[in-house]
Amino acid sequence: MISPRNLAPNCVIQREPNVIAAEADQDLVMVSIENGFYYGVSNVAREIWDSIDEPKKISDLVDELSTKYNVDRCSCEEQTLSFLEDLLRENLLRVRNAPSS
């Protein structure tokens, strides 16, 4: 597994398929079978979770978010990586290096 400090824009990510997620009002509640914890996310975090149902390169995710929310790309990347690192620490995320292009 890749450690959080190694997450980079060229990594390909996907949410861990063993996490059960359900809507609760405007939030999304996720339950990890592996670690027995539950998590709640909303707003942009929920959008990120929904977006990584299939493998996605982090840089593509950041591009989508910075365009949609009209925010500085550098700031968007920093905040997105921080959230993804949280997911990774909790074993809610699968990560692999992007293929060479």
User: Quick check: is 58 in a domain?
Assistant: yes
How far separated are the first and last CA of the chain, in Å rounded? 22
| pTM reported for the whole predicted model | 0.85
Residue 97 counted as domain residue:
no
Question: How many domains does the chain contain in total?
Answer: 1
Whether 96 is in a domain gets the answer no
Q: 101 lies in a domain?
A: no
The domain of 25 spans 7-91
Higher-pLDDT residue of 22 and 6 is 22
**Considering the domain boundaries, does residue 29 fall inside one?**
yes
Give pLDDT tens digits for 63-89.
999 999 999 999 999 999 999 999 999
Residue for token pair 């905040």: 79
Tokens of 101: 């292009």
